[in-house]
Structure 1
Amino acid sequence: MNELIVDELGPVTLVGGGDLGEGDLNWALSLTNFLVAADGGADHALALKHLPSAVIGDFDSISPQVLAQIPPDRLCRVTEQDSTDFEKALRAIRAPLVLAVGFLGGRVDHQLAVLNALVRDIGPPCILLGAQEVIFHLPARIALPLQAGETVSLFPLREVRAESVGLEWPLEGLVMRPGGQIGTSNRALGPVTLSVDGPGLLGLVPRHHLPALIQALM
């Protein structure tokens, strides 16, 4: 297990080395108080003129040119190879919430590893900012101020049972599991409340609801 590296009272932005949408890092930083890079995410940060307060990972992805620009006391090397840089960073952060950018797009195996880590509750609650939606691991209950007609997708990575208020196709009575029943492309009738009986269910809602989702998860 990693040692604690970041200990913040407010939400933290974590930038990775995957695809980074235009303006995504600046938007995340407008909603959080602290920037951490997971290994090669430091390249994204410096390219946009942001110096991370900490860089966490095994440093196999960060470029030598960027590595040389990071003050040594901000470089936090974690050499074990049994976890991804995303997991290493989450384990090393204590904060109310992590907003992760630069972890979607690009290699599918990397994205699958990130989603797998999300449902394992490694570290603080975490939101992934994507090109069209935000992805999060559902807590026991969450209420979101959605608008009628907006897409709500739910994808299980473990067997779960859920209940819903405000969805066009309610979840009551469904057992969702990988390789079985899923819940993608549902639609909101208005504000939505979701409840689950245990961990393992990913939620996806339109990305403009990011500020509301941050408040709901905190």
Structure 2
Amino acid sequence: MFEPIVHSSDPVTLVGGGQATPNDLHKALTLAPLCVAADGGAGLALAAKVEPAAVIGDFDSITEDALGQIPDARRYRVTEQESTDFEKALTRIAAPLILGVGFLGGRIDHELAAMHILMRYPDRPCILIGAEEVICLAPPDITVPTRPGDAVSLFPLGTVTGQSEGLEWPIDDLHFAPGQRIGTSNRAVGPVRLQMNAPAMLLILPRAIMPELVAAVSRPEAARWPVRAR
């Protein structure tokens, strides 16, 4: 376990150095008002005229100009090279939810690494914002007020089964696993409830439903996964 650097009773926006715009960041901040930057993500925060409460990373991607605008007290260098900047930051934020901006789009290896981290730390709810979609690790039990016709995609990162209500093609009694069965382009017929038996399923929804997903994941009584054994 890592000692938290940032503590917040509200959701936190974590900004990375991938593809995102100042508008993306400002939209995230309406839902998760405290901004933390993962290394080079500080550049986007500063471009959006947002002063991050902390910058966490090994500082190999932040520019000297951006670093010079961050007070020393808000710089947290983590020098080990065994983890990504996303992992370094995610594991050092204590909050009910982390909203990630700038971790999707761009290099596919960075995207895959971010999704891997969602599964590696299932006890830390995190929603990643893309250009058209939002992605999170499906909690043990969640209900989202989707509308009829909304795309609901499920992508397994391991062996996992589940139950559903409100999907055009129910997932009950199906066994999902990489290389065997995935759940791309299912559709909602109304509000969707999902229950999973393991922290191994990515839930992909339209970006338009981001506020509702944030509310569902961050509410105090929301079902959560325990810390993964290491």
**How would you bin the TM-score normalised by the shorter chain?**
over 0.9
Deviation at 1:2, TM superposition (A): 3.6
- The aligned runs of 1:69-218 (5 Å cut-off) are 69-121=69-121, 124-218=124-218
- Provide structure 1 residue ranges, at least 5 long, that are not aligned to the other structure: none
Q: 1:53 to 1:22 in 2, by over 3 A?
A: closer
Alignment partner of 2:59: what SS? coil
Structure 1 match to 2:9: 9
Amino acid at match of 2:57: G
Q: Could you tell me how far apart the structure 2 residues matched to 1:39 and 1:195 are?
A: 35
Distance 1:166 1:22 in 2: 35
Question: How many angstroms does 1:18 deviate by?
Answer: 0.0
Query: What amino acid sits opposite 2:89 in the alignment?
Result: A
CA displacement at 1:173 relative to structure 2: 1.5
RMSD (CA atoms): 1.0
Partners of 1:22 and 1:52 in 2: how far apart? 13
Q: Is the 8 A contact 1:15 1:45 kept in 2?
A: yes
Unaligned residue ranges in structure 2 (runs of 5+): 219-230
Instruction: Give the whole-Å Cα distance in 2 for the aligned partners of 1:95 and 1:172.
Output: 32
How far 1:123 moved relative to its partner? 5.8
Structure 2 Cα separation of the partners of residues 73 and 198 of structure 1: 39
Aligned amino acid, residue 124 of structure 1 = R
Greater displacement, 52-61 / 26-35: 26-35
Aligned-partner residue type, residue 74 of structure 1: R
CA distance in 2, matches of 1:96, 1:42: 22
**CA distance in 2 between partners of 1:123 and 1:56 (Å):** 20
Asked whether the equivalents of residues 93 and 123 of structure 1 are also in contact (C-alpha less than 8 Å), the reply is: no
Change (3 A) 1:25 1:148: same
CA distance in 2, matches of 1:71, 1:148: 48
Local SS of the residue matching 1:31: coil
> What amino acid does structure 1 have at the position aligned with 2:160?
V
The CA distance in 1 between the partners of 2:124 and 2:54, in whole Å, is: 17
Q: How many residues align?
A: 218
Which secondary structure state, in structure 2, belongs to the residue aligned with residue 179 of structure 1?
A: coil
CA–CA distance in 1 between the matches of 2:203 and 2:80?
Answer: 30
Cα displacement (A) at 1:32: 1.6
SS in 1 for 2:89: helix
Tell me, what secondary structure is at the counterpart of 2:61? coil
Whether the aligned pair in 2 keeps the contact of 1:16 and 1:40 (CA below 8 Å) is: yes
Q: Shift of residue 177 of structure 1?
A: 0.5
Q: Distance in 2 between matches of 1:122 and 1:72?
A: 31
Q: Does the CA contact (< 8 Å) of 1:153 and 1:183 recur in 2?
A: yes
Q: CA deviation at 1:200?
A: 0.5
Provide Cα deviations, 1:154-212, integer angstroms capped at 9, x if missing partner: 00001000111111111011100011100010000111100011111000011111111
* SS in structure 2 at match of 1:213: helix
